[in-house]
Chains A and B, each alone.
Chain A
Amino acid sequence: DAGITQSPRHKVTETGTPVTLRCHQTENHRYMYWYRQDPGHGLRLIHYSYGVKDTDKGEVSDGYSVSRSKTEDFLLTLESATSSQTSVYFCAISSGAGFQNPYEQYFGPGTRLTVT
């Protein structure tokens, strides 16, 4: 299994509070992703990173920001949490061209976030 951890695994927070989710990898993979999973929507990309300090928006980026100061860590921040951000959040990694299985994504265990 790819070495990907997410913290926290569960969190309950109140509307309007800031929240930061952490993804940590030990695989030295170049690409990292944040998805949210909601019933009826599958997985939707929030933000992704193609290198240290290189990030870009996905399809549902409003209300979220990310940072990647080290290869191994990718942080997702909800500046002011809203109830619509209640979801399960997944981090994923992929290695990129030139590696074995370059385009396969490996997922972390997920974080269940509830905003009350």
Chain B
Amino acid sequence: AQTVTQSQPEMSVQEAETVTLSCTYDTSENNYYLFWYKQPPSRQMILVIRQEAYKQQNATENRFSVNFQKAAKSFSLKISDSQLGDTAMYFCAFMSPSGGYQKVTFGTGTKLQVIP
């Protein structure tokens, strides 16, 4: 079974600064997808960024980028120029399409506070 570990339960960052959230995973699969989801106080789960394991290039979405280290099974999220609206829980997630079932495993989350 796959596992996803987020070792930082809480983090804080000053507005306009950069912060990195860590995520490691364990799998024997070679084909898989990784995601970061954001959950603001509104409780809505929002997809931030995704990475296909077969792609060597790190994914970027505006101020959000990832550092994907496949051999190390590491998938960290970097948020640049942090904004107050980035305050949220962030969940790392893993999905392998093998067997066609598309089950996703989530980490326990990192609570990020952006300080004005």
Chain A contact residues, CB within 8 Å of chain B: 31, 33, 35, 40-45, 48, 50, 56, 58, 88, 90, 92, 94, 96-97, 101-107, 109-110
| One of B57-65, B67-75, B77-85, B102-110 contacting the partner | B102-110
CB neighbours (8 Å) of B104 from chain A are 33, 45, 92, 105
CB neighbours (8 Å) of B43 from chain A are 88, 109-110
CB neighbours (8 Å) of B93 from chain A are 105
Whole-angstrom distance between the Cβ of B49 and the nearest chain A Cβ = 10
Question: 5 tightest CB-CB pairs across the interface, nearest first?
Answer: A107-B45, A42-B108, A43-B106, A42-B106, A103-B33
A90–B101 touching, CB < 8 Å: no
B44–A41 touching, CB < 8 Å: no
- From the candidates A33, A42, A102, A104, name the one contacting B109 in the complex (CB within 8 A): A42
Bound-state Cα–Cα, A109 to B45, Å:
8
Say what secondary structure dominates the interface of chain A: strand
If the complex has contacts A48-B101, A97-B97, are A104 and B35 also in contact, measured as CB distance less than 8 A?
yes
A45–B109 touching, CB < 8 Å: no
CB neighbours (8 Å) of B100 from chain A are 50, 97
Closest to A45 in B: B103
Known: A102-B97, A103-B102. 7 other contacts (CB 8 A): A40-B108, A42-B91, A43-B106, A45-B104, A48-B101, A105-B47, A105-B93
Closest to A110 in B: B43
Whole-angstrom distance between the Cβ of A21 and the nearest chain B Cβ = 15
Bound-state Cα–Cα, A96 to B105, Å:
16
If the complex has contacts A42-B109, A48-B103, A97-B97, are A109 and B91 also in contact, measured as CB distance less than 8 A?
no
A42–B107 touching, CB < 8 Å: yes
Closest to A94 in B: B102
Which of A35, A58, A105 neighbours the largest number of chain B CB atoms within 10 Å of its CB? A105
CB neighbours (8 Å) of B106 from chain A are 35, 42-44
Whole-angstrom distance between the Cβ of A6 and the nearest chain B Cβ = 11
Whole-angstrom distance between the Cβ of B99 and the nearest chain A Cβ = 10
Is B95 an interface position by the 8 A CB rule?
Answer: yes
B101–A104 touching, CB < 8 Å: no
